[in-house]
Structure 1
Amino acid sequence: MWKYRTLNNCNLAVSSLFCSRLPANQTKFNAVCNSRNKSTVTENQSFMANIFRGSLVSKQVFPYPDVLNAEQKELTNSLIDPFERFFSDVNDAAKSDANSKMDDDVAKALWELGAFGIQVPADFGGLGLNNTQYGRLCGIVGANDLGLGITIGAHQSIGFKGILLYGTPEQKAKYLPKVAAEQVYAAFALTEPSSGSDAGSIRCRAVKTPDNKYYVLNGSKIWISNGGIAEILTVFAQTEVVDPKTGQKKDKVTAFIVERSFGGVTSGPPEKKMGIKASNTTEVYFEDVKIPVENVLGKEGDGFKVAMNILNNGRFGMGATLSGTMKKCIELATAHATNRVQFGQHLKNYKGIQDKIAQMNILQYATESMAFAIAQNMDAGSQDYHLEAAISKIYASECAWYVCDEAIQILGGMGYMVETGLERVLRDLRIFRIFEGTNDILRLFVALTGIQYAGSHLKELQQAFKNPAANLGLIFKEASKRAASTVGLGGTDLSVHVTDELLPSSKKTAHCIDLFGQTVEELLIRYKKDIIHEQILLTRLANAAIDIYSMVVTQSRATRAVNLNLPTAQHELNMTKALTIQASDRVINNLKDITSSRQKALNEQISVIAGTIFENGGVNTTGILDEN
């Protein structure tokens, strides 16, 4: 049972330095890092945030969200055929990849299709779709051309998304019609040569003129998608801000809407990349660019908040896109396995091939389930989706790589050939584990954000013990919950949320959730604020969280299929049961490794080995021919 006396030694504040260096950071994370406010703890509706503190808040996962009305579904369905015909009749992904650019007629057709203004309100010339509808179209793009998808996504998912989220009425009226329908490209300019994942260390600087009418911007950005073609850029730069409380001046990041027509904005040549070659990626330079003060996006000094919320808001789209990519890979692999004969049998009859195809489909199902659970929660008004969105991005990018690689393996030599198209997809996929927050950093974000939320709750409990007579309800509630889950009684119960066939699966998942909460508490007690330095343990904790989310969303979606009597219901149940068996085993193993002395010894050995390699600049073993 949890030892409450240790609470006095539990300092849960992750350093502000580390907080500022997480690319997936946002206002809520900063609030959790600094808050001692009870409402911050109790109001968060995120399923994932709450399991970090051993609490089940099921609203966002059960039942599986279903927010589109009949009119929205009809509109979405009316767009599917034109989008698919564009890819079959107009677009040539292989040609764009070979030429490292999208042809003008392809771009023109996309603009006419409305693909660059999918979420812009109709009043400003866009299609006016919500996140769920946008995700459905993303899946079509992902199934056909990821390079082109980057051009579209860099434009609207992040390029002008800040104007949608933070723009004043005047900014929206001026810029949204241009980026939605007037063939004016947008870009998101955050990354700099010295600040990759460390978005808080940008050096681009904007200085306000003496008349307070302009900012003068100088600096450069690197690896900017659409950087060479964008006429409107969301740019982040350091500015001098006066603290209204203290009167002190300090540097803080501010977001700006920058037009190339302002002058002083230039671009480098297109970067030569491993994949997504059809997209334009360049450096962008700013030399004495005069930006009107009315082009500040959000508030002065709030640029970091703006940047992170833009990334968080669009991250679900990656899962929707890559679920489409995976679906296409599975179709190609299935067709080949069905028709190809080896050793007198079709490939599909071999157990090894069946295992590959099944695993690929399970991962696609979970990826899609995550993406659309998040999208629909966002459409329902949720503000607490940041952990889930980060998990979705990690899961989608890694599963898509695995699925494409396995598809190539099933096709054998044919899969390796350019003509099949899978080698291009594999090259395109590699970037998704890097940009919009590397998966390594996002795992730390998931773990530390969840731990901070749990820590804030435990501090509330600590305060309760200072006046136990007035807080007996809270104290006994937490004590009984911990005691019950520790001895295997009570604890999390998901049975009321799932169909009967998934009851054994829900029980496995519930056990994982309880074990997860106990492990978080143990980490807090053992490491206190130093937990931020235990990145191997944090990564394992994040992996457990990811697997838990995959189990929950698939169980929820499969239950929906049963309740609606969908023809795919049994197949969805089968995949969900298989995923739960695999994922629950991984969760238990990861959580055990977090607290095991054996794993601690291994981690220490790994650090020693890495230190030797770094000291010697690479491999440090004697060559075979050099041995005596």
Structure 2
Amino acid sequence: MNKFYRSVCQCRHLPRQLLAKPLRLLSTTQNLRYKDQSDTFTRGIFSGKLKLNQLFPYPDALNDESKETLKIMLDPFEKYFSEVHDAKQNDIAETTLEKAFSVFKEIGGMGFLAPEQYGGLGLKNTQYARILEIFGKYDLSFSVTVGGHQSIGYKGLVLFGTDEQKQKYLPDLATGKKIAAFCLTEPMAGSDAASLRTKAVLDDDGKHYILNGNKIWITNGGFADIMTVFARVVRRKEDSDETTEGITAFIVERDFPGVTSGPAEKKMGLKSSNTASIYFDNVKVPVENMIGKVGEGFKVAMNILNNGRFGLIAVSSGLIRMLVSKTSEHANNRIQFNQKLIEFQVVQEKLAKMAMAHYAVESIAYILCNNMDRGITNFQLEASMSKIFATEAAWHCCDECIQVLGGNGYMRDNEIERHLRDIRVYRIFEGANDTLRVHIASDGIYSAAKNMRENQKLLNEFGSQKSVTEPHGKKLIEAVAPSLRDSAIKVTGCVEEFASAVRILLLKHGKNIGNQQFLLTRLADTAIDLYVMTAVLARATSAINQGLSTSNHEQLLATTYVTEGCSRVERNLLKVKNPENLTTYAAFTQIASEVSQDDTVVTARPLGF
């Protein structure tokens, strides 16, 4: 009997408190109502189940007409960035030059996601993702300006707005006549979005909400005309005199009296994009400007962020593709020690891993947006995992590109240093990666705990030697191309070991597992690796089945990536289960505590002063 099966058999010992209600997550998710969504890939692997419906066959939501339309659109935007848009000058000027911005608006760049009936292009997410790759190639800062406008700025209107709201606001937003912003973050509410303090109180006339508070680090905050603002609203409970507070979303116009902005922030990167604070002082917001209902603002905010997260992944994919080209070009032309750089194995390894990272990021980017276009709604965890992986891969590849380019990469004229400054914040905004990791692991563990209880009723149906993961592993092995089956077997084994580790931790920590962030982050990293490995196998299988000219290269990328990924999984699971590592984690806590007491290094200087 394997370890996984034994641990499931012991699940009767799991504290019932853990199964009575969800783990207490970070406040960004604690208000969500849990439903049985174990059919998603991520929730499945925490229970040892490989749910492949979102990955196999590799999704393609675009018909021939949509693809032809997209091909026609790519050239104008590529020409815009290469011939009109001057990213280097914008970075120096710390603004997007208005003449170029006007051209961008004229070719429809501010209405990618707005429905055609309101003057937008009405693109599918997959089409938009391909265009965003061009942004990643040329200018991450401008992608933030445009994304802040439509990926999150007016996305709430598109997703949840009434017909009247859409008719009133979207036509001007889609053409860029007016600019949108997404206003959630506050001084005391960043990743902890549920702690926001901005308040809206219904006026005595019943026709307006009086809005007070301030938002910080708002993209387009210095000049946005239309803002999606989140505030607490006090409301009376039904059939009761008691009141409760619920986060609610509002459409706020810049012209409403009492709306002001602070000066533009000076930032490490993204210098040409505007970031500013926005203040609301007794702003009267018409009741008809509410998005959704009172108390539904948290759901609106999370849906907007989850729905727009694929944009960061697509931009990262475009950036990495450019970095691979830059690195290869330099390595093929730079001669040191009478050899081209590409002839050195240390450079070969860097370039190969960059190419593998690009293949992985591009694979998950198009799985996500294609699934969204197919109408799949349970993709939140996969979006979070993809955002973590893509933004960290982009940062690493940018760093490696500069390393290969040497002094050339450090110079401003080469522009890679600008990309490095710009990409750094992608790991922070739209869900800080550290926060997302804890959320992924907490959600997955709750799902696994629930599944363990449900499985008790079925355990008697299994033979003592039968693994409950066997059918799922077999599905993956059968789904991939024959030449990829060895890799699929490796991934299946990793999933089984991962699920076993999850159950061991549940049995050991019970309801306190939610406080074990040293363990949760490593579980999240393992889940991310399992998802990405399965994604590249799905894509490589599709290339092989279609007989693409690149199929042999894609097979090499996929098998090599799986070998590397399985090694990372093994290391992370060892960090979770090895008692020596648990001692190390306790030491981390002690060291941090001692340092934080005085906010400085504790040790004495070698010279004594």
What residue is the counterpart of 2:320 in the other structure? 326
Contact 2:522 2:572 in 1 (8 A): yes
What residue is the counterpart of 1:5 in the other structure? 12
Which one of the candidate residues 27, 31, 40 is aligned to 1:21? Answer: 27
Contact 2:235 2:243 in 1 (8 A): yes
Structure 1 distance, partners of 2:390, 2:21, is 28
Query: What letter corresponds to residue 19 of structure 1 in structure 2?
Result: L
Query: What letter corresponds to residue 552 of structure 1 in structure 2?
Result: T
Contact 2:11 2:453 in 1 (8 A): no
Structure 2 distance, partners of 1:461, 1:350, is 54
What residue is the counterpart of 2:402 in the other structure? 408
Distance 1:8 1:103, change over 3 A: closer
Which one of the candidate residues 301, 305, 321 is aligned to 2:295? Answer: 301
1:68 deviation in Å?
A: 0.5
What residue is the counterpart of 1:35 in the other structure? none
Distance 1:503 1:108, change over 3 A: same
Percent identity between the two aligned chains: 44
What residue is the counterpart of 2:33 in the other structure? 31
Q: How does 1:244-263 map to 2 (within 5 A)?
A: 244=238, 246=240, 248-263=242-257
Query: Match of 2:249, SS?
Result: strand
Which one of the candidate residues 133, 136, 161 is aligned to 1:142? Answer: 136
Query: What letter corresponds to residue 620 of structure 1 in structure 2?
Result: V
Structure 1 distance, partners of 2:157, 2:455, is 41
Which one of the candidate residues 153, 158, 176 is aligned to 1:159? Answer: 153
What residue is the counterpart of 1:37 in the other structure? none
What residue is the counterpart of 1:470 in the other structure? none
1:112 deviation in Å?
A: 0.9
Structure 2 distance, partners of 1:489, 1:124, is 51
What residue is the counterpart of 1:468 in the other structure? none
Distance 1:110 1:489, change over 3 A: closer
Contact 1:338 1:348 in 2 (8 A): yes
Give CA-to-partner distance per residue, 1:449-508, whole Å, 9 cap, x none. Answer: 11122222234346x4xxxxxxxxx3335x55x95349x976622111111111111011
Structure 1 distance, partners of 2:17, 2:557, is 42
What residue is the counterpart of 1:46 in the other structure? 40
Q: How does 1:113-152 map to 2 (within 5 A)?
A: 113-152=107-146
Structure 2 distance, partners of 1:13, 1:126, is 47
1:115 deviation in Å?
A: 1.1
Give CA-to-partner distance per residue, 1:329-359, whole Å, 9 cap, x none. Answer: 1111111111111111111111111111000
Query: What letter corresponds to residue 317 of structure 1 in structure 2?
Result: G
Which one of the candidate residues 170, 194, 197 is aligned to 1:200? Answer: 194
Q: How does 1:369-518 map to 2 (within 5 A)?
A: 369-461=363-455, 464=457, 474-477=458-461, 480=463, 484-485=466-467, 492-493=473-474, 494-518=476-500
Which one of the candidate residues 592, 599, 610 is aligned to 2:574? Answer: 592
State whether structure 2 residue 600 is matched by structure 1 residue 618.
yes
Query: What letter corresponds to residue 238 of structure 1 in structure 2?
Result: R
Query: Match of 2:264, SS?
Result: coil
Structure 1 distance, partners of 2:354, 2:12, is 48
Contact 1:20 1:200 in 2 (8 A): no
What residue is the counterpart of 1:535 in the other structure? 517
Instruction: Structure 1: state its 5+ residue gaps.
Output: 33-39, 465-473
Give CA-to-partner distance per residue, 1:99-130, whole Å, 9 cap, x none. Answer: 10001111111111211110111111111101
Structure 2 distance, partners of 1:224, 1:387, is 25
Query: What letter corresponds to residue 21 of structure 1 in structure 2?
Result: S
What residue is the counterpart of 2:281 in the other structure? 287
Structure 2 distance, partners of 1:117, 1:552, is 34
Structure 2 distance, partners of 1:396, 1:208, is 43
What residue is the counterpart of 1:178 in the other structure? 172
What residue is the counterpart of 1:467 in the other structure? none
1:44 deviation in Å?
A: 4.3
Give CA-to-partner distance per residue, 1:582-609, whole Å, 9 cap, x none. Answer: 1111112211221221111111111111
Contact 1:188 1:235 in 2 (8 A): yes
Contact 1:13 1:529 in 2 (8 A): no
1:20 deviation in Å?
A: 5.4
1:243 deviation in Å?
A: 2.5
Query: Match of 1:159, SS?
Result: coil
Q: Could you tell which deviates more after superposition, 272-281 or 245-254?
A: 245-254
1:386 deviation in Å?
A: 0.5
Query: Match of 1:353, SS?
Result: helix
Contact 2:477 2:489 in 1 (8 A): yes
Contact 1:555 1:576 in 2 (8 A): yes
Contact 1:146 1:276 in 2 (8 A): yes
State whether structure 2 residue 75 is matched by structure 1 residue 81.
yes
Distance 1:358 1:347, change over 3 A: same
Moved over 3 A (4+): 7-10, 12-16, 459-462, 482-486, 488-491
Query: What letter corresponds to residue 271 of structure 2 in structure 1?
Result: K
What residue is the counterpart of 2:268 in the other structure? 274
Task: Say what the alpha-carbon RMSD is for the aligned residues.
Answer: 1.7
1:136 deviation in Å?
A: 0.4
Structure 1 distance, partners of 2:442, 2:79, is 44
Query: What letter corresponds to residue 420 of structure 1 in structure 2?
Result: N
Query: What letter corresponds to residue 337 of structure 2 in structure 1?
Result: F
1:416 deviation in Å?
A: 0.4
Give CA-to-partner distance per residue, 1:403-458, whole Å, 9 cap, x none. Answer: 01111111110000000000000000110011111110000011011112222223
Contact 1:26 1:308 in 2 (8 A): no
State whether structure 2 residue 235 is matched by structure 1 residue 229.
no
Contact 1:13 1:452 in 2 (8 A): no
State whether structure 2 residue 355 is matched by structure 1 residue 361.
yes
Structure 1 distance, partners of 2:214, 2:15, is 47
Give CA-to-partner distance per residue, 1:239-296, whole Å, 9 cap, x none. Answer: 1022226552111111001111122111001000000001000000001111010111
The number of equivalent residue pairs is 601
- TM-score normalised by structure 2 residue count: 0.96
Instruction: Structure 2: state its 5+ residue gaps.
Output: 1-5
Query: Match of 2:182, SS?
Result: strand
Query: Match of 1:195, SS?
Result: coil
Contact 1:366 1:553 in 2 (8 A): yes
1:15 deviation in Å?
A: 6.7
Contact 1:508 1:584 in 2 (8 A): yes
- TM-score normalised by structure 1 residue count: 0.93
1:26 deviation in Å?
A: 8.2
What residue is the counterpart of 2:3 in the other structure? none
